[in-house]
Amino acid sequence: MIPTNAPTQTQPREHAHNDWVSDPVPDNLQNLDNLDLQQSNESENTLDEGKNPSAFAEAVQANSPFNTKRPFHSGDRQGLVHSVMEICSGKRSNMSSGLWFQIRAPESEKVWETHDWVYLQSKGAFDLPSIDVCDSLIRAYFEHVHPLLPIIDASHFLSQYTLKGASSMNLLLLWSVFLAAANFASPETLLTAGYPSRKALKRAMYTRVKALYDSDYEDDKVCVVQAVTLLGFWYSDAEDRNGPWHWLGIAIGLCQVMGLHRQPPFTLAGPATELRQRLFRRIWWSCFLRDRWLSVGLGRPMRINLDDCDVQMPEAEDLTAELGQLAIEVANRYLPGSMDEHAIIWVKLIKLSHILGRIIRVDYGLSCSDAGSDHLQALEAELEDCRLPRDWLPVPNSDSLTLNRLQFDMLLEAVTVVLYRPAINFQNPPGVSKDPGEVEALEKARAAAARTNHLVGKLINSDMVHYLRPMNLTALVPAMQIHLLDCRSSRPLARNFARSKLGECMMIVSELRNTYWGADFTFKLFETAQNILKNAEDPTTGDRTVGGQNVHAGAQSNSGEGSDTGQGQLNLDAFNHMDWSNLFFDQTYNEPPNNESADPALVTPWSLDEFQNMFGIPFALDGSDTN
């Protein structure tokens, strides 16, 4: 039995080239029954100055940015350090961006207590899946998540995994990757892993990641920001207390602490440093992308203000440059083909998200006003420029590229509907308004919604629906809103046609309920809305009451049975402002010291191997070798 008052053991210490080793393990740590962790040397009377108390002071004394230590972003000019630095140097800084300095790497300060280990063990944090399951999930991650959310250094991650195995990987990152990959796990993988569904697998993965995150041992902010970004795949509560909105806020905050939103004011030399900066750009712009789509999906404010950012826009090479270091056989095994084309789609998606953010800010903000036709035409032109050519598919018979192309096109059509939606009066049935602007906006929104249904048909015919990302659940909602509005039409044929198109979208949402809880929330919302419309009809005359007016219905609704709501008047404006469920795909690895490339042949800090070494207790893998 583990004593409750056991002494403590400090974490491993950092060595050159990211090779971390633990303090010598005492003999009494060799078995679980008499686990006795080494007591901390700190006196109870030691002054508690917090963690890294000298960071700002060292920044003031720094002679040059980036030398042989670690980067430290002290904040923008309005912050604590800038004026103090000018006072001490007697010079005015001409840097408009934030201050970057190089300071000593922090001392490892995590003190491990017995209950920490017991807690992580009880949550299964040390129980890695079998080799086959690990391999399948990592392939799923890099095929379905990484191309449009490239927040991991694929070359380093895959090289280390193939050389040293899953037990050498950072556990926080590895379980985060498994969580994101669980959305795309095959039935064979679920059977081998022993889980009845993707949702059950996600629950298990989330439990492990959350336990490791709550242990608060990881000092590498890059690793943490990647992990919390991937934790955004978790969304099982419509109130989103620990869902994507929560985790994205942490990720954005950490990015800004690290200064990823700012362009470094000096030139960084060396291929390793250049690749590192490309990774930082990918992480920042991936958070930006998620910020915009979570805003439109959940109806919440955007967190990132581009006026505070000056980091350059990404380019396709940011995604592909690191892959030159990856062995061909490893790339062929884990990465989808034609990564160059996937990178082009990713850059287009960032631009599309930029347009979406401007639409939200101008047309949906609290102080929004009519921006005029010039604003609308400019955005229409930019959206058209974002479109991929109709015949663009450079690599024939590439399922992954076809899937990414279809998903990108769905997102673009969703933004098109969002652009025209403010001009549409959802409180009135279609055809009531004679305002030319509203009529034109509704027609263009209908066209985009119809194109969405066309894309849905392609996904069904290609048997790709079960690989849709959570973002594309959000992309369906604007089209479904337009179809729902047309279900209120006074013309029976138009009304039935709208029900048919809405039914196609509902069929996709229903299929996605096997994977995403957000699909359950969305399905129930629109199912309820259809029942409200049905119950608003007079069952004897076929007339329906909408907006206080009787409109001849002609044909009965086929939207499904529902209880009588007792509502004679219907106001769909409330539905237009509901929170839509939005799940997101997103990732990590450890930052090599001294700006050197991490050696993938070495054990990563906080891997299963490192935990075993520290505690002196072997954790058995499910069907795999720990060595």
Termini Cα distance of the chain = 27
Higher per-residue confidence, 507 vs 392: 507
Of 24-38, 90-104, 268-282, 564-578, the least confident: 24-38
> In this model, does residue 415 exceed pLDDT 80?
yes
Cβ atoms 536, 551 nearer than 8 A:
no
Mean pLDDT of the chain: 79
> What are the φ/ψ torsions at residue 554 (nearest 5 degrees)?
80, -60
> In this model, does residue 18 exceed pLDDT 60?
no
* Residue 543 pLDDT level (bands cut at 50, 70, 90): low
> What are the φ/ψ torsions at residue 33 (nearest 5 degrees)?
-65, -35
Query: What mean pLDDT comes out for the span 114-135?
Result: 94
The number of beta carbons lying within 10 Å of the beta carbon of residue 477 is 22
User: What per-residue confidence (pLDDT) applies to 589?
Assistant: 35
DSSP classification of residue 536: T
Rg of the chain in Å (alpha carbons): 27
Q: Of 533, 555, 565, which is closest to residue 546 (Cα–Cα)?
A: 533
> In this model, does residue 199 exceed pLDDT 70?
yes
- For the segment 257-299, what is each residue's pLDDT rounded down to a tens digit? 999 999 876 555 678 888 999 999 999 999 999 999 999 999 9
Exposure string over 257-289, b if 16+ CB within 10 A, otherwise e: ebbbbbebeeeeeeebbebbbbbbbbbbbbbbb
How far from 64 is each of 50, 149, 270, CA to CA, in Å? 26, 34, 17
User: What per-residue confidence (pLDDT) applies to 545?
Assistant: 53
The number of beta carbons lying within 10 Å of the beta carbon of residue 223 is 22
User: What per-residue confidence (pLDDT) applies to 604?
Assistant: 75
Higher per-residue confidence, 511 vs 21: 511
- For the segment 342-356, what is each residue's pLDDT rounded down to a tens digit? 999 999 999 999 999
Cβ atoms 140, 181 nearer than 8 A:
yes
Query: What mean pLDDT comes out for the span 378-406?
Result: 88
Q: Of 609, 473, 556, 612, which is closest to residue 169 (Cα–Cα)?
A: 609
> In this model, does residue 39 exceed pLDDT 70?
no
Q: Beta 70-75 vs 543-546: how paired, if at all?
A: unpaired
> In this model, does residue 96 exceed pLDDT 80?
no
> In this model, does residue 8 exceed pLDDT 90?
no
User: What per-residue confidence (pLDDT) applies to 390?
Assistant: 82
Q: How far apart are CA 185 and CA 204, in angstroms?
A: 13
Q: What tokens does 191 get?
A: 């059977």
HSE toward the beta carbon, residue 3, CA cutoff 13 A: 10
User: What per-residue confidence (pLDDT) applies to 12?
Assistant: 39
Residues of the chain above pLDDT 90, percent: 55
Higher per-residue confidence, 53 vs 500: 500
> In this model, does residue 98 exceed pLDDT 70?
no
* Residue 576 pLDDT level (bands cut at 50, 70, 90): very low
